Amino acid sequence: MDQDITYEKYLFHQGNLFRSYEILGAHPCIEEGVRGVRFCVWAPNALAVYVAGDFNHWDGSGHPLHRLEDSGLWTGFLSEVKNGDLYKYQIRTFSGELLMKADPYAFYAELKPKSASRVFDLNGYSWQDQKWREQKKEQPVFRQPVLIYEVHLGSWRTHEDGTWLTYRELAHELADYAAEMGYTHIQLLPVSEHPFDGSWGYQITGYYAVTSRYGNPHDFMYFVDCCHQKGIGVILDWVPAHFCKDGHGLARFDGTELYEKEEIRGWGTLKFNYGRNEVRSFLISNAIFWLDVFHIDGLRVDAVASMLYLNYGKQPGEWLPNRYGGNGDLDAIAFVKRLNEAVFADFPETLMIAEESTEWPLVTGPTYAGGLGFNYKWNMGWMNDVLKYMAKEPVHRQWHHNLLTFSFLYAFSENFVLPMSHDEVVHGKRSLISKMPGDYWQKFANLRVFLGYMMTHPGKKLLFMGGEFAQFIEWRYYEQLEWFLLEYEMHKKFHHYVRRLNYFYRSEKALWELDHGWEGFSWVDCHNCAQSILIFIRKGEQAENFVINLCNFTPHYYEVFRVGVPQPGKYQEIFNSDREDFGGSGKINTQELEAEEYPWQGQPYSLTIKVPPLGFAVFRKTK
């Protein structure tokens, strides 16, 4: 065994073994004709390492691992262990402690609150998603519509008794629902094993173990496979920024600070030591693991800012600058760049999305040009500005018009995803519909025009579950969404609106073909703060493919309103949020409109239209 992995051992200690999960962990196998399990764990500062489990009554003294020469790796083959057995590593430290640790590379774990690892053979699942994987290679995501439905599996829907749906049940119910609603991707809050439901999966103990709450790894493969067969991509929320301090986890794994560097103030979690080669092998391998073994289509990388900044969450005097005098964590920066290079080398079609909330430059720039190498970044600035604007009474919005337009000062500096995520509907922030001002009808109308603006603004889109049918209460991780609201007329109509809006976005190439540059966007009128109206053009690759978008953020209805257009001919209204079947008042433009040779708003021609109250309307030149 020692000779078999000499090269892999070298790469692991160099920080360049990006499929370390093929060596470390517990692997059922046959050696010299005997069936058993090969264990391998990194514990460089341990005095001794044993394997304890239900097969030896949790006394590992009779099952020691041996240390590989010139390495911190311990390994051994145990014929007494079989697939499905529970185990932990008993680690004897030089200080005399005997630690009981879950396997950092375990592929499966006990259901919480228990914490043992479980041997699981990942082989044996027969994938049926070849068509999907080929299609991804042929259709680069930059030139495709991306509509992400963000989901927490434990609270999307439950059984009548409140118990969780399994991965296999979700494979049909959730995938069918997302496909019916017109979403292109499902993004899951973290599904790596975690001990506390209330962390939503962001405080992890088992990075390689898909959580046992909803089934085993093969069940999760079935979920991903079914999504792909229905044309739905799967994105995972991935957390390489920090991990929890639970005793069975990574903290002080061999009695020393092995994986960790420091505690993150205010979170009670530990920041990874990105300067340690073996930690880089662990984390980059984990990203590759989800893409390789589970066919995941993308990773949303959580809390990137906490990784990049030395002063994150710290007061002056609590941190030291790097060797260049700045506050960037050079080890973390190098790790992020290497991560993205490794992912795109093997899986070039992957979505690597940074949740980065600062002005760090070139987050989506290529690493060879000094960028971090992601291909997308959440636009947190747009999200905060627009939600702040929408929360204001319409009569006051004219004084805050810049909150709608400020994003265009930087809209094309990065490749953006526009997120309306779980973080915006918890902890007293209120649900999306509850953020909207006005009476009952106006709340829905406000939310319709807001989502219309979001859908036509440059950038890919993300909406957290429950927002699509205007759930009034904040998201609660411990119970399912309030699906009964669909029995009420306005919620049912709003749900219908979101579905039609999703399909409208997907059908209009002008809304996504040129998403990342000014060639796909131009203003018609961004200065009409008095009426709180925005008008802009979105353009496709073909010159004749463009749409005129108008958003009215007040309840005023205009029977006659002039809009500038770039070309002569006839125009047709192709979408209007004020339709009665969407819950609106029915102020729509039903007639074909002839462009007049009357210059207006910087355009050579113009139309006379009706503008719906708190409404969103789109016009296209007829052929």
Q: Crossing angle for the helix pair 440-456 and 489-507, nearest 10 degrees?
A: 10
Task: Judge whether 302 counts as a catalytic residue.
Answer: yes
Q: Which residue has the tokens 């007293």?
A: 428
Distance of CA 319 to the CA centre of its chain: 30
Distance, CA of 471 to CA of 451 (rounded, Å): 15
- Smallest CA-to-CA distance from 431 within 407, 461, 464 is with 464
SS3 34: strand
Q: Which residue has the tokens 């004219």?
A: 398
Q: Are 392 and 450 in contact (CB under 8 A)?
A: no
Q: Are 248 and 196 in contact (CB under 8 A)?
A: no
Distance, CA of 238 to CA of 254 (rounded, Å): 25
Single out the catalytic residue among 85, 355, 468, 513. 355
Buried b (16+ CB within 10 A) or exposed e, 378-411: bbbbbbebbbebbebebeebeeebebbbebbeeb
Distance, CA of 287 to CA of 41 (rounded, Å): 19
Task: Judge whether 355 counts as a catalytic residue.
Answer: yes
Distance, CA of 87 to CA of 102 (rounded, Å): 8
Single out the catalytic residue among 85, 302, 329, 356. 302
The 10 Å Cβ neighbour count of residue 483 is: 13
Amino acid in the structure at residue 519: E
User: Half-sphere exposure (CA, 13 Å, Cβ side) for 503?
Assistant: 11
Contacts (Cβ under 8 Å, ≥6 apart) of 3: none
Provide the annotated active-site residues. Answer: 302, 355
